[in-house]
Amino acid sequence: MSLLLNLLMYAAVGGSEWYLALRRTLACARGERALMISIVFLENILGLWVLSNFVRDNDWLVAISYSLGGAMGAFLVNFKTKQPAAAGVGETMRHDARGQAEPLPAQASAANA
């Protein structure tokens, strides 16, 4: 196989592992046990395949291409996100229609107690 095609293949595997990792997390949060187990199996097979090829050939371009693919997968996943996952977490105030800050209901009841 040509070097360029080989490097693109490892980059695609690295990027797809990011998708699988996020899908596994979602399956875990939703309680989809069978899907989660299947994804973990597939992730392990892909990771061991890349590792065995790297050990067999001692080709650092494989490792670099795989890592770049993983980084690109992380970038694309983050690029598609419109709002941070933790948006609104830890806020203690909200703004009413006039723009005035007021405590959130949970904070207000704790302050009155």
pLDDT tens for 93-113 read: 555 566 666 665 655 555 555
78 or 24, higher pLDDT: 24
pLDDT tens digits, one per residue of 26-45: 999 999 999 999 999 999 99
d(CA 104, CA 92): 6
Query: How many residues are recorded in the chain?
Result: 113
Mean pLDDT of the region 3-8: 88
pLDDT winner (highest mean) among 20-24, 38-42, 48-52, 88-92: 38-42
